[in-house]
Amino acid sequence: MTNRRFAAGSGLALTAVLALTACGGSGDAGGEESAGGPTTITMAGWDLAKTPEFTALAEGFNAQSDDVTIEVVEYPSGDDYVTAMTTDIAAGTAPDIVMMKQNTDFIRFSGNDLLLDVADVADGLDPATSALDVYQTEDGQTLAVPFRNDFWVVYYNKDLFDAAGVEYPDGSWTWDDYQATAQELKDGGLPEGAFPVYQHAWQSTVQGFAQAQTPGADLLSGDFEYLKPYYERALAMQDAGLQQPFGTVTTGSLHHSSEFGRQRAAMVPMGTWFSSQLIAQVGAGEADEFAWGIAPAPQYDESTTGLDNTPVTLGGPTGMAINARIDEAKIEAAKEFLAYSAGEEGATVLADLGLTPALVNDATVDAMFAVEGMPQDELSAFALGTSEVKQENPVDPNVAQIQSILSSLHTEVMPGATGIDQAIETAQSRFESEIQD
C-alpha cells in the first residue's frame, strides 16, 4: 500500500515526499542522506486531520533544528495501522520512527530485532514520566519511550445536570454513586432523546475498569470472576433506561463523540484523548456549544475517592520506537527526536493541544487548561492531573488472545444473549484450553 507523506508545517497532503529542507533523504529506513546535507527522519502517524500531535511534534522539533527534518508518514487508523505497519516492517519500507499505538503493538514488534534499544533516551527522561517501564524487555533493553499516556475519566454536561437539578460530580463517587446520579438525572428530566449515560460498545468500558480497580484482579490469571459486579451494574443501568442498550449502540453505529457532543448523553466515560476531539468538534460546528467538565472515574470503593486521595483508572501509553533498519547515520537524530517528544518540550506541545502527555506536571496541566474551550473548574484539573493509571493491556505475548476471549464474553453478555456466570465460565474454560494448554 502507499502511505501518504507530509512534511510538518506544509499543510498539504502529498503522495510523494515533501521536505522542508532544500534536499532530503529517501524517506525509507536505511535510506542514504546527502553527504554533509540535511537529515530527514520519517515518522509514522495516523488520521492526521483528527490526530494533530504527530504534525505538531514534528513542527516543534523542526523549528529548533537546523539540519534535521521530521517527515510524517500517514498510516490508516485503528487496527489497520498495525496491519499496514507489520507489512511495511516486513518489506523493509517502514518509517524510521514507529509508533506503539497500544501495548499489544509493542508485543508484536519487540521481537526479532525489529526495534533499536533506546535505553539511553529513556534514562535521560524525567523519572516522573508515566509508563517508562512498559517498553523494557527481560534482557534489559528499552525498545520505545512513551510520549502520551491517556487514561479514562468521566466527561459530563453541566447544562444537562443543571436542567435536571442534579449536583455536579465532586470527586467522591464510587460506581454506586455514579449509577445513583444517573437515576437522578433521569428522574429530574432530560431533553427528549437524551440519556443520563452513554456507554460505548468497547469492552474497556466494563472490563478495563474492573481489571484496574478490583483488588487482586489479574488479566493473565484466567480468573475472570472480578468482572461480574461490573457487568451486573452495566446491565442494570441498561434495564433501567439509564443508558442506551448495547444492541442500539452497535447496530446504530453510535459514537461517543456525537452522543455527548450533540447533548444526547449527560455523562460519558472516555479516555482523556476526548478533550481535544470535543473542542475541535465544537469549533467545526460538529458538536453543540455547552458547559462541560471532567471528573475522575468512579471508584471501586471509598478508599480512593475524594480530592485527598488518588483515583485509580485504566489507561495506556502511546510510544515511539526506532526502526532497526534505520540508516546508522540517522540514529542519533532519531534519538534526539524521541527525547524531545517524550520530554518537557514535547509534553508542552501535546498539552497545548489538550492532550495528556506521558510527563504530567504542574506546567503541562496548566498548558492543557490554557487551551481555549477546556473547562476551568478545580475538579477537571484534579481529574487530569491526579490519577493512578493501571495498564489495560499488560505486556505479555498472550494478551491479544486473552482479550479476544474476553471480547466474546462482552458481546454475549451486554445484549443479554448469555448470562454473566455462564459467559465467565466459558471464558475461563477457553483460557485453560487456548492459553494454558
pLDDT by 10s per residue, the chain, length 437: 445 554 454 332 222 222 333 233 334 454 444 445 689 999 999 988 878 899 999 999 999 998 999 999 999 987 789 899 999 998 999 999 999 988 878 888 887 789 999 999 999 999 999 889 999 988 889 999 999 999 999 999 999 999 999 999 999 999 999 999 999 999 999 999 999 999 999 999 999 999 999 999 999 999 999 999 999 999 999 999 999 999 999 999 999 999 999 999 999 999 999 998 899 899 999 999 999 999 999 999 999 999 999 999 999 899 999 999 999 999 999 999 999 999 999 999 999 998 999 998 888 888 999 999 999 999 999 999 899 999 888 888 899 899 999 999 999 999 999 999 999 999 999 999 999 87
Within this chain, do residues 75 and 196 fall inside the same structural domain, yes or no? no
Give exposure, 69-93, as e/b (b: 16+ Cβ within 10 Å). Answer: bbbbbbbeeeeebbebbeebbeeeb
Phi/psi at 202 (5° precision): -60, 145
Within this chain, do residues 183 and 238 fall inside the same structural domain, yes or no? yes
Quote the cell numbers at residue 197: 449515560
Helices in 155-273 by DSSP H: which ranges?
Answer: 158-164, 175-188, 207-213, 228-239, 246-251, 256-261
Its pTM stands at 0.85
Q: Which domain holds residue 359?
A: 39-150+315-391
Task: Answer yes or no: is 71 within a domain.
Answer: yes
In this prediction, residue 96 carries a pLDDT of: 97
Contact 173/153 with Cβ under 8 angstroms?
no
In this prediction, residue 337 carries a pLDDT of: 98
Within this chain, do residues 160 and 141 fall inside the same structural domain, yes or no? no
Task: Answer yes or no: is 345 within a domain.
Answer: yes
Q: For residue 218, give the CATH number of its domain.
A: 3.40.190.10
Within this chain, do residues 357 and 407 fall inside the same structural domain, yes or no? no
Task: Answer yes or no: is 332 within a domain.
Answer: yes
- What amino acid occupies position 27? G
Give exposure, 397-409, as e/b (b: 16+ Cβ within 10 Å). Answer: ebbeebbebbebb
State the Cα–Cα distance between residues 63 and 267, nearest whole angstrom. Answer: 40
In this prediction, residue 36 carries a pLDDT of: 55
| DSSP 8-state assignment for residue 300 | S
State the Cα–Cα distance between residues 314 and 49, nearest whole angstrom. Answer: 27
Task: Answer yes or no: is 23 within a domain.
Answer: no
In this prediction, residue 38 carries a pLDDT of: 87
Task: Answer yes or no: is 17 within a domain.
Answer: no
State the Cα–Cα distance between residues 285 and 138, nearest whole angstrom. Answer: 49
Q: Which residue has the cell 442506551?
A: 244
Q: H-helix or E-strand containing 334?
A: helix 331-342
Within this chain, do residues 218 and 262 fall inside the same structural domain, yes or no? yes
Within this chain, do residues 212 and 298 fall inside the same structural domain, yes or no? yes
Give how many domains the chain has, as a whole number.
2
CB atoms within 10 A of CB 49: 9
